[in-house]
Amino acid sequence: MSAQDTALIVIDVQESFRQASYWDATGLPAYLSRQQALIDGAKAVGMPIVQIFHVDSDDSFTLESGLVRTLDEITIAPDVTFHKGVHSALVDTDLEAWLRERGIRRVIVSGIRTEQCCETTTRHASDLGFEVDFITEATLTFPMTHASGKVFSAEDIRIRTELVLAGRFARIATVEQALAPLSAAA
């Protein structure tokens, strides 16, 4: 694979989440560092960068809220931006057509939330025939409480997501592992 047939997908890295009741900034600094390193690395090798924003009727996720914009700490200059209203970035958007028109065969998935939009987009991309690298360290999620009352930490959720994706839908990779073959070819 090369930088020309690989695209970075940055999903829902938006200010809307800071308004959510479940927002927890515990893992934010580490996530921001890895997400920015992935964006910068993709840009350095000339890889197309796709930015996805989630838009729905929840107050902070409406376009009118002014919060459907990149997290303040992240710098990104995407080649294209799509708005989605469901979990997969490939449903009711032109993302698949955009990727195929450019000969993209491999996608690198990152963003917010690990187990929701990032995982769903990964599964969908794999089912459509794309090779997928899932960069867990460049995803962010928040603790969740099961109906039984058991709390699953963000780390629990990341581990579970890796478990169900690895080898079935994606290669689990670090930022450096995802970029290494592209950097060597540049």
Which architecture, in CATH terms, is 3-182? 3-Layer(aba) Sandwich (3.40)
Instruction: Indicate the pairing of strand 6-11 with strand 49-54.
Output: parallel
Arithmetic mean of pLDDT over the chain: 96
To the question of pTM greater than 0.85 for the whole model, the response is yes
pLDDT at 186 over 80: no
pLDDT digits (tens, 9 = 90+) for 10-69: 999 999 999 999 999 999 999 999 999 999 999 999 999 999 999 999 999 999 999 999
Domain ranges in the chain are 3-182
Query: What is the rounded distance in angstroms from the CA atom of residue 98 to the CA atom of residue 120?
Result: 19
For residue 1, what pLDDT band results from cuts at 50, 70 and 90? Answer: low
Given CA atoms 81, 173, 159, 127 in this order, what sign does their dihedral have?
positive
